[in-house]
Amino acid sequence: MAERYASSEFIHDTPPERRTRMNNKNLTPTVWPSGIGIGWRPDIAGVVAALPGLGFCEVIAESVPAVETAESWLPDLLAVDVPIIPHGVGLSLGGAEPVSAERISVLTRCAQILDAPLVSEHIAFVRAGGVEVGHLLPVPRSHEALAVLSDNIRRTQDFLPVPLAVENIASLFEWPDDEYSDGEFLAELVERTGVHLLVDVANVYACALNRGTDPAADLARLPLERIAYCHVAGGESDGVLYHDTHTAPVSDDVLALVNQLAGTDRVDAFILERDGRYPPAAELMAELDAIADAAGMTRPSCSPGVRNAS
């Protein structure tokens, strides 16, 4: 399977402006998404289609229909006409069981259907012993967990036709006896696998609030040179813990982290995640503009949404 997707036939079938170089296990694209994007959802398809200056989109991989039918929303997604990144939620990269080829094939299929520049997944586990837990659960920051996670990422990379980026998740609790900080854990993961990072700044903020640490300092300790793109989202506190809900406006504190990242000159691709309680189109556009302002961008100039890889 890996040989088929890394063949010259696959590469030549890809439009030049979206083409990726697939010459080794740790795939390195010639272009990355850039600008300000949004998580595409069927509920806001019409709004997204009308957004000016959209750089790129992201879609939940497991939700993408296998074929175009009269009932499917796949034609609406493809009509957006910007780079689209499949974002997986089901691999369970941090689980003890090896990632199944069948689940990896979901990302492979999406990458082909969408002509994606890369795909992304979470540093998390979602099942154990065959039981689906229904949530993204944090991986212990231990030597043993790092080895398992690295093996699963390498297995996934071997089968994917495009690069993989992995995302830090928001956590409501800490495992006892962690052996790495977040930054150390991600740096070692990158060193072992060559994987790229999808840094969710809202998740950095959520974890810092729940741990009582400084989000700006936590963000600065991550291996920023491996960031492919970033998530930005709003959340809410229940009075005890902060929850990354994707149903509230992005806070000024999270926008400050966007500004911090943009100031490193390493990141120029930010996606707004919104899942539920969708605001009117004008409010959604204002939120995208706020992210662009924090990142030092002017949204209409961010299209067509690709940049040369460095």
Give me the pLDDT at residue 5, please.
22
Of residues 102, 91, 82, 14, the one with CA closest to residue 60:
91
Dihedral (C-alpha) 47, 254, 296, 306: value to the nearest 10 degrees? -60
pLDDT given for residue 3 in this prediction = 27
And the tokens for 66?
């296998």
CA 288 to chain CA centroid, nearest Å: 17
Burial class from Cβ neighbours inside 10 Å (0-12, 13-18, 19+) for residue 280 reads: exposed
H helices of the chain, where? Answer: 2-5, 8-12, 45-50, 74-78, 101-114, 143-159, 182-193, 201-211, 215-220, 252-262, 281-294
**pLDDT attached to residue 105:** 96
Cα separation of 262 and 270, whole Å?
10
In sequence order, what are the beta bridge partners of 120? 87, 165
Give the global pTM: 0.86
CATH architecture, domain defined by 2-308: Alpha-Beta Barrel (3.20)
pLDDT of residue 69: 62
Q: What is the pLDDT along the chain (310 residues), one digit of tens a residue?
A: 222 222 222 222 333 333 333 333 455 565 689 999 999 999 999 999 999 999 999 999 999 987 666 568 888 999 998 999 999 999 999 998 999 999 999 999 999 999 999 999 999 988 876 766 767 899 999 999 999 999 999 999 999 999 999 999 988 667 678 899 999 999 999 999 999 999 999 999 999 999 999 999 999 999 999 999 999 999 888 888 888 888 899 999 999 999 999 999 999 999 999 998 899 999 999 999 999 999 999 866 444 454 555 4
Domain boundaries, the chain: 2-308
